Chains A and B, each alone.
Chain A
Amino acid sequence: MTTTNDENKAESMLKNAAEKAALLLKDAAEKASHLPLDAAEKAALMTMNAAEKAAQLPLDAAEKAALLLKETTERNMFMPAEIKAALVLKDAAEQACLMPKDSVSKMTELLNDATRKAVLIIKEEAEELTAKKNKFLDLAAHELRNPITSISLLLKVAEKQIEAGQPVAVNVLERLRGPVDRLVRLVVDLLDMSNLERGTLVLVKAKTNIVSLISQCLEEFQIQASERNFIFNKPSESIELNIDPLRINQVLSNFLDNAIKYTHRGDIEVSLVEMSQTVRISVIDHGEGIHPEKLSSLFTTFFRGSSDVTVQTSGLGLGLSVCKGIIELHHGTIGVLSEVGKGSAFYFDLPKMDGAL
């Protein structure tokens, strides 16, 4: 009788503790993705409490709690650091299950230890992110202030000319276009990035002939950069895709812009290759190529290549990460192949239309 009662009591205690632990972990994990540092510390405390409670319960309770702990962490932690942290916790929980019944204190120690490790992982990631964001803000300040300074000084030149009874020189007015465009692009990039991060960037998809989209884009670039030669290996037949033409044009323009900006000579080729499930569009330059260790960070936010010409795009290193976001929204992939001394090929693959072609 008493045994059954005790078992029931333990069972319900376990259930409560496990449920609480699961809730606490879920809550903490959710908070951690918004407020990295604070939440990481909170999550630490919560997980520690949950782990302690779980460890104090009878073995089968601990076992179940461990399982729950493992499941919850796996289910609710999306960020890379959180997954790493969850794995540490999971391992510890599994080890705790294997321990003999009497080693509750050892179990607690193990779980606490794992929790501390997990917290450190999340904290380090949060600190790295904060440092990156600070650096980004510095860059943003610089990139915003420069065009504003240009506009203000160029207007001053115009004022001086008017004061002196002269007409404003055409080259002064022409020069105003550059910094104004740069500010516009900067603001557009920032808005795109913020929409992508929030998941509020919406594609306006339509059946689009990708061949003519590329041709049109190249025509514009040929006018803009008349000193460079653009080659398009056009397929004989038109290819229709279900895409947002403006956004795909934005990605292609960004690739072409980079090819002009970061290479000084040589043709710029665009190729379109049909594969079984996808269509690959590549922009190939014959520049200096990119070092292998830099390749992986190219598409991450804040990365910026070095160039000795005045940077025409926002210069915030948002360009390629925005492109990546746009292509991923299309369920496509983006990438680069590069060889130092030979050049680079930036590409994106877009899925073919269902049933079409």
Chain B
Amino acid sequence: MKTQELKTILIVEDDQDILFSMEMLLECENYQVQTAKNGKVALDLIKTHGLPHLILLDMMMPVMDGWEFSHQLAAQYKKRCPIIVMTGAADAQQRARDINANDWIEKPFELNKLLVKIRKNLDEENKCNKPLMENGL
């Protein structure tokens, strides 16, 4: 009767409205959500709470952008967690490649498409554990 541990997703995004709605929507999907308005805040969060299961990363942000964040993350932590790049730029795929991200999604996106990507990446990360996906969509 062990309840499944909630997966933590960290959203790094400077647009407060996107942060607000994604937090609500992902919580509806039974994820534990952390939010950061730039790369620096995200690094601080990780320092305090440890690595999340997955990171949703915007690239163009003030103070610390997605490139610098991923660079710092790789330098500071040996362990990796999947990163999905969310970007409004035309070269989303290139940006994802730049930082060696696992996946990418172009803004504006459909929520369902993002959810599929999140699940797929968490699943791959979790391969050694018993996969137990029970999301009701």
Interface residues of A (CB under 8 A from B): 137-138, 141-150, 152-154, 156-157, 160, 172, 175, 178-179, 306-308, 310
Docked-complex contact A142 and B21, CB < 8 angstroms = no
Partner of B90, one of A141, A152, A178: A141
Known: A149-B15, A306-B62. A138 touches B90 (CB 8 A): yes
A218 to chain B, nearest CB (A): 26
How long is the Cα–Cα vector from A242 to B17 in the complex, in angstroms? 42
Q: How many A-B residue pairs have CB under 8 A?
A: 66
Complexed CA–CA distance, A137 and B20 (Å): 27
Q: Which of B66-112 contact A (CB under 8 A)?
A: 87-90, 106-109, 111
Closest B residue to A161 by CB, please name it.
B24
Q: Give A149 to B108 CA distance when docked, in angstroms.
A: 4
Find out whether the CB atom of B88 lies under 8 angstroms from the CB atom of A160: no
**B22, CB-defined interface residue at 8 Å:** yes
Query: Which among B38, B107, B111 has the highest number of chain A CB atoms within 10 Å?
Result: B107
Number of B positions contacting A (CB below 8 A) = 24
Query: Within the assembled complex, what's the spacing in Å between the Cα atoms of A67 and B45?
Result: 71
Distance of A307 Cα from B24 Cα, bound (Å): 26
Are B88 and A154 in contact, with the CB atoms below 8 A? no
Kindly report which residue of chain B lies nearest to residue A164, judged by CB atoms. B28
A-side contacts of B60, CB under 8 Å: 142
The reply to whether A141 and B15 contact each other, CB–CB distance below 8 Å, is no
Q: Which of B17, B25, B87, B89 contacts A179 (CB 8 A)?
A: B17
Name the CB-closest residue of B to A156. Answer: B111
Q: How far is the CA of A153 from the CA of B16 in the complex (A)?
A: 12
Distance in angstroms between the alpha carbons of A156 and B110 in the assembled complex:
9
User: Cβ of A149 and Cβ of B109 under 8 Å apart?
Assistant: yes
Check: B18 CB closer than 8 A to any chain A CB. Answer: yes
Classify the secondary structure of A's interface with B.
helix
Q: What residues of chain B lie closer than 8 Å to A146, measured between beta carbons?
A: 15, 18, 88, 107
Given contacts A142-B60, A160-B28, contact A152 B108 (CB under 8 A): yes
Residue B6 at the A interface, CB < 8 A? no
Residues B18 and A153 in contact, CB atoms below 8 Å apart: yes
A233 to B129 alpha-carbon distance, docked (Å): 69
A308–B17 CB distance below 8 A: no
Contact A149 B111 (CB under 8 A): no
* CB of B107, distance to nearest CB on chain A (Å): 4
Rounded to whole angstroms, the CA-CA distance of A141 and B19 in the bound complex is 19
A85 to B38, CA, bound (A): 45
Chain A residue numbers with a CB within 8 Å of B89 are 138, 141-142
Given the known A-B contacts A141-B88, A141-B90, A142-B88, are A310 and B14 also in contact in the complex, defined by CB atoms under 8 Å? yes
Nearest chain B CB to A119 CB, angstrom units: 31
**Residues on A with beta carbons closer than 8 Å to the beta carbon of B38:** 308
Partner of B21, one of A137, A138, A156, A306: A156
B residues 31-63 touching A (CB-CB < 8 Å)? 38, 60, 62-63
Q: Contact between B22 and A153 (Cβ–Cβ < 8 Å)?
A: yes
